[in-house]
Amino acid sequence: MPPAEPALAPAGDAQLIAAWQAGDERAAAELVRRHARAVARFLAGAGAPEADLDDLVQETFIRAFRAVASFRSQCQFRTWLLTIGGNALKDLGRRLARRRVVPLDERLESKDGDPHERTVAGETEERLRRGLTRLPRMQREVFLLRAQQGLEYGEIAAALDTTPGAARVHYHHAVKRLKEWLT
């Protein structure tokens, strides 16, 4: 049995990022443990098929760790991860679209989940999920970052490279359209 890895002292994201850049793999693993569920929740909300969720979360972290030098703390590390996840999801949508031509909501929506679980999931939740897949990407991501992740407009704007005012407008457009579709 291999010796257990020495435990990593509790640290902030910035310290873990610095440790990973210095070659400490335990720091990278800790960052995954810390943020993987939030990334998965965001991706699932944005329409990621559940069958691809694990791969998408991995891809998100791989891309983030590769490009970590470009992270300048303009927003929280988790928010940055979520935007990278959004890009990974978009790329998946493109790959699936090349394989067969289907509508976007059908493409990104899970058809592989347990039917019982899908039945149990609230009807409103299901309709919201469908509604989100019909929104433009910016509106969808702003809505999820705001409503699902509870982020401030300033944080959302920094992550999506826009202004807080524009993020607010995207959010309100998203809410207006979602309400129309949900009622």
Partner 1 sequence: MMHDHDGVHDEGLRQVARRLGAEAAERLDVERTAQTVIARLRAGDAPARASIRWMQPAWLRAAAVVVVIIGAGALYRVTHPVLSSGSVATDRPPADVLADIPPGQLREVLSGLNDPLEMPGAVHAGEAGVEDLSEPQLQSLLEAIPSLKAVED
Binding positions for partner 1, rule: CB under 8 A:
20-21, 23, 25, 28-30, 32-33, 36-38, 40-45, 50, 53-54, 57-58, 61-62, 65-69, 110, 113, 117, 121-122, 124-125, 128-129, 132, 143-144, 146-148, 150-152, 171-172, 175, 178-179, 182
CB of 95 to partner 1, least distance (A): 18
Nearest to partner 1 of 97, 121 (CB atom): 121
Look at residue 120 and give its three-state secondary structure.
Answer: helix
Nearest to partner 1 of 1, 101 (CB atom): 1
Nearest to partner 1 of 100, 116 (CB atom): 116
Report which DSSP code applies to 6.
Answer: P
Q: Would you state the structure tokens that stand for residue 83, as one six-digit string?
A: 């935007």
CB of 148 to partner 1, least distance (A): 5
Nearest to partner 1 of 10, 98 (CB atom): 10
CB of 176 to partner 1, least distance (A): 10
Residues 45 and 144: beta-carbon distance below 8 Å: yes
Nearest to partner 1 of 41, 96 (CB atom): 41
In order, the DSSP letters of the chain are -PPPPPPPPP--HHHHHHHHHTT-HHHHHHHHHHHHHHHHHHHHHTT--HHHHHHHHHHHHHHHHHTGGG--SSS-HHHHHHHHHHHHHHHHHHHHHHHS---HHHHHS-SSS-HHHHHHS-HHHHHHHHHHHHS-HHHHHHHIIIIIT---HHHHHHHHTS-HHHHHHHHHHHHHHHHHHH-
CB of 101 to partner 1, least distance (A): 26
CB of 117 to partner 1, least distance (A): 7
